[in-house]
Structure 1
Amino acid sequence: MLNQERQASRFSQRLFYVTAIILISVLILAAGFDWQISQFFGNMNDPIATTFQDIGLWTSPLVVMLACNIVAHAGVRASNWPWYVRAIAVVGSTLFAGYELWSGYLKYAMMMVLTSVKDIQAGKPMGMANSDGGSLALPGALSISLFILLYVAVCGVAQYWLARKSDDDLQHLVRVALVAALVVLLADTVINTMKTTWGRFRPYELLAGDPTKYTPWFHINGADGHMSFPSGHTETAALSLLFPLFVDRKNARLQRLVFWLAHGYGIAMAISRVRILAHFTGDVTTSLVIVWSVILLVTTVANLPLVNWVALPQRKSSKSTQAASPAAE
C-alpha cells in the first residue's frame, strides 16, 4: 500500500511539473508573439469557436448548482441541525441555484446566441458577439420556459443522485460543495479584478481599430473599459476541473475519466477563444494558470484530492494477483 501511495504521489507530481512547464512556456512565447499568433490563427467565422463562446459557459454555473443542491439536500436530511439553519440551507440554496442558472448562464447564453444570429443575418462575422457592456431584450416566454426546463432537469437529477447517498457520503459531499463554491468565488474575484485592472484590448478590437494600442500580456494599462486579460470564458471552463470532486470516491476510474475530460474542456475553450479573436494566447493561458492553481491550493488545504490516484494501481495490482493465483496453484 505504501508503494502504491508513492507511485500515485510521483504521478501527481509529474502531472503538475509537465502542466506547469507547458503553461509557463506558452506564456513566454505569448509575451513576444501574442499579436502574430492571433493574426495567423484567428477567424471570427469559425462555427465551433462561436458555439463555445455562445453556450460553453455551463461548467461553472453547474458546479455552483450542484453545490447548492447538496447543501439543500443536507438541510432536509440533517435532523440534528436547528430548524432555522435547515430552512436557510434549503430556501437559500434553492434560490441561489436559480439565480446562478439565470444570471450566470442562461441570460448570457441567450443574448450571445441571438446576437450571433442577428450578426449572421446582417452579414457580419458570427463570432463578433461580446458581453462587454452588451445588452439585448429577450423574449419573456422563451426565457422563462428554458429557465424552468433547465432548473427542473438539473435539480431533479441532482436530488435523485443525492437521495441514493449514505449519510457519510452526504457529509463528504457537503465538504466538497463548500470547497467548490469557495474555489469558484476566489477564481471569479481574481479574474474579474485583473480584467478591470489590466485594460487590455481584445484582438478583434485592434484589428478593426488601432493596432498600435496592442500591449503584451504583462503590461498593465489600468481601467479603460477593455477586458481581454485574463479570459473569463477560459476561467469558467477551467473550473470544470472541480467535477471529479463530486464523483464517488470509490469509483477511481470515473474520477480519472472526468478529470481528463474537464482538463481537455478547459484547453479546448482556451483555443477557441484565441481562434475567435476574443482573446490573445497570453489571456487564456493566464486564466488556466490562475484557476488551476486556486483549485490545487484549496483542494490540497482541504485535503480533498481531485482524483484518488492510489486506487488505480491498487486495482491493477489486485487484478494481476488474481490472474496469477490459478497458475500458482
Structure 2
Amino acid sequence: MNQKESRFLGILFGAALLLLIVGSFADLSIGRALFDQNSIYGNIFQAYMMFPQALIPFIAGASVFHYGLKHEHPLGKAVMTISGAGFGYWSIWQGVDIWMSYTTSSLDNIKNHKPLGAAGNGSGEQVVYSFGLEALITLLLTLIGLGITYRWLANKTTEEFKYLLMVSVVAVAFIYLSESIVDISKANWGRWRPYEVTEVVNGSKGHFTDWWVINGKNGHRSFPSGHTIAGAAALFLPFYVDRKNIKLQEILAYAGLIFAFLMAFGRIRIGAHWMTDTMMSILIAGLTSLLLTKMMGLSFIEKAEKEMNMDMEMSKDMKSDMKKGMMKA
C-alpha cells in the first residue's frame, strides 16, 4: 500500500471510527439536536442522492457493452452488447424507481400537510406512479449514459478493457456484498429510527437503544444506514480511472469520501438514522471495497512516479548490499 492510498484510507477509517465513538456516547442528543424532517438538504439526499449505487453497476454494464461492440466474433458481440446494455438499463431502473417513489411520496406529504421527509417513514402505504414514465426515463438515461461512456471508452485498448472488465466484476461484487451486509444487519438489529423515538409512528412510540444492542427481528431497521451504503458506493469511482492518471484517482477518491459523509449527515438531519448507523455503513463500505480490491491487486490511488522511483532505488540498494554481503562471505 503506497503513501497516497494509506493517507486516504487513514482519513476514511479514522474519521468514521472517531464519529462512531462520539455517537456511542451522544447518539440521542445529536439526533434530537439535528432532527428536522422538513430539511431541504435532508430530503434532497434522501430522494435523489443514492445514485452511486446505480451508477457503479451501470458503468460495469457499459464497459461490457462497449467491449462487445469491438468483439470480432458475431456471437460474442451479440451476447456482450445485449447483456451489457440490459444490465446497465436494469441498474439505472433501480435509481429511477427510488427517485420516483420518493418524489411521489413527498408530493403526497405536501398535499396532506405532513413533514416532507415523512416520505421515508415506511408507513407501508403503496405509492402509485406511472410505470410507463419510469421505463421511458430509464431508457433515456441509459442511452445518454451509453453515449457518454462511448466517448470515454472508444479508444481503449484490449488490455485496458480487460482491466475495466475485471474492475466491473469487483464493483458489482462490492455493491451487492455491502448491501447484503447492511440488509441482514438491519433485519436482525431491530433498532428504532430517530423519528420513531421522537414521535408516535403507526400508533406507537419506539425507544432508544445503543448501536451495539441487538434487539432481534422487530420490523425496525435503523442500523446500519442503507442510504449511506448507497452513497458510499462512490468510493469505487477511482478504480475506473486510467491507472496512470493518479491525480484524478485522488480527486475521485476524496470526492467519494466527502459524498459519503454528506449523505450520512443528510440521514441524521432528516431523522432517519443515528450517527452510529451512518458511520457503520461507511466502515462497511470501506472495509468491503478494500478487501475485494486488494484480493485483485487493485489500489484506490496508484503510486506516484516519484514514489515508484524511490522504491526502485531502495530495491537497487538492497540488492547491492546483498551482493556485497555475499562477496564478503
Same fold (TM over 0.5): yes
1:17 to 2, 10, 18: 10
SS class of match (1:128): helix
Give the whole-Å Cα distance in 2 for the aligned partners of 1:126 and 1:284: 21
Give the whole-Å Cα distance in 1 for the aligned partners of 2:100 and 2:171: 26
2:275 to 267, 281, 287: 281
Of 218-227 and 69-78, the range deviating more from structure 2: 69-78
Alpha carbons 1:59, 1:236 under 8 Å: kept: yes
Alpha-carbon spacing, 1:165–1:11, altered in 2? closer, same or farther (3 Å): closer
Q: Cα distance, 1:216 vs. partner?
A: 0.8
- Provide, for residues 112-159 of structure 1, a one-character-per-residue CA deviation record: whole Å limited to 9, x for no partner: 012112212322111111174453111244323322221111122123
Q: Cα distance, 1:44 vs. partner?
A: 1.0
Alpha-carbon spacing, 1:252–1:15, altered in 2? closer, same or farther (3 Å): closer
Of 214-223 and 283-292, the range deviating more from structure 2: 214-223
Give the whole-Å Cα distance in 2 for the aligned partners of 1:48 and 1:113: 14
Give the whole-Å Cα distance in 2 for the aligned partners of 1:130 and 1:183: 25
Alpha carbons 1:252, 1:311 under 8 Å: kept: no
Give the whole-Å Cα distance in 2 for the aligned partners of 1:173 and 1:89: 14
Give the whole-Å Cα distance in 2 for the aligned partners of 1:84 and 1:138: 38
Of 294-303 and 19-28, the range deviating more from structure 2: 19-28
1:306 to 297, 300, 305: 300
**Counterpart of 1:322?**
none
Alpha-carbon spacing, 1:268–1:154, altered in 2? closer, same or farther (3 Å): same
- Provide, for residues 204-252 of structure 1, a one-character-per-residue CA deviation record: whole Å limited to 9, x for no partner: 1111136662111111111111111110110011110111111122222
1:52 to 31, 45, 55: 45
2:128 to 127, 137, 144: 137
Q: Provide TM-score, normalisation by structure 1.
A: 0.86
Provide the aligned length of Structure 1 versus Structure 2.
305
Q: 2:235 aligned with 1:244, yes or no?
A: no
User: Partner letter of residue 243 of structure 2?
Assistant: R
Give the whole-Å Cα distance in 1 for the aligned partners of 2:4 and 2:150: 35
**Counterpart of 2:109?**
119
User: Partner letter of residue 241 of structure 2?
Assistant: V
**Counterpart of 1:64?**
57
Give the whole-Å Cα distance in 2 for the aligned partners of 1:243 and 1:12: 14
**Counterpart of 2:143?**
152
Alpha-carbon spacing, 1:84–1:218, altered in 2? closer, same or farther (3 Å): farther
Q: Cα distance, 1:89 vs. partner?
A: 2.9
User: Partner letter of residue 244 of structure 2?
Assistant: K
SS class of match (2:15): helix
User: Partner letter of residue 110 of structure 1?
Assistant: M
Q: Cα distance, 1:86 vs. partner?
A: 4.7
Of 300-309 and 185-194, the range deviating more from structure 2: 300-309
User: Partner letter of residue 306 of structure 1?
Assistant: F
Q: Cα distance, 1:101 vs. partner?
A: 1.3
Q: Cα distance, 1:94 vs. partner?
A: 1.9
Q: 2:198 aligned with 1:207, yes or no?
A: yes
**Counterpart of 1:78?**
71
Q: 2:287 aligned with 1:297, yes or no?
A: no
Q: 2:172 aligned with 1:178, yes or no?
A: no
Q: Cα distance, 1:289 vs. partner?
A: 0.3
Alpha carbons 1:183, 1:298 under 8 Å: kept: yes
Q: 2:115 aligned with 1:98, yes or no?
A: no
Of 281-290 and 159-168, the range deviating more from structure 2: 159-168
Give the whole-Å Cα distance in 2 for the aligned partners of 1:212 and 1:231: 18
Give the whole-Å Cα distance in 2 for the aligned partners of 1:147 and 1:127: 25
- Provide, for residues 152-178 of structure 1, a one-character-per-residue CA deviation record: whole Å limited to 9, x for no partner: 111221233222212221111111111
Q: 2:179 aligned with 1:188, yes or no?
A: yes
Give the whole-Å Cα distance in 1 for the aligned partners of 2:9 and 2:151: 35
Q: 2:19 aligned with 1:26, yes or no?
A: yes
Alpha-carbon spacing, 1:44–1:311, altered in 2? closer, same or farther (3 Å): farther
Q: Provide TM-score, normalisation by structure 2.
A: 0.86
Of 142-151 and 65-74, the range deviating more from structure 2: 142-151
SS class of match (2:18): helix
User: Partner letter of residue 250 of structure 2?
Assistant: R
Alpha-carbon spacing, 1:314–1:302, altered in 2? closer, same or farther (3 Å): closer
Give the whole-Å Cα distance in 2 for the aligned partners of 1:170 and 1:226: 43
Of 85-94 and 34-43, the range deviating more from structure 2: 85-94
User: Partner letter of residue 250 of structure 1?
Assistant: K
- Provide, for residues 264-320 of structure 1, a one-character-per-residue CA deviation record: whole Å limited to 9, x for no partner: 1001000110011000001000000001111111111111112224247679xxxxx
What is the aligned-residue RMSD (CA, Å)?
2.1
Of 172-181 and 26-35, the range deviating more from structure 2: 26-35
Alpha carbons 1:252, 1:312 under 8 Å: kept: no
Q: Which runs of 5+ in 1 are unaligned?
A: 1-7, 316-329
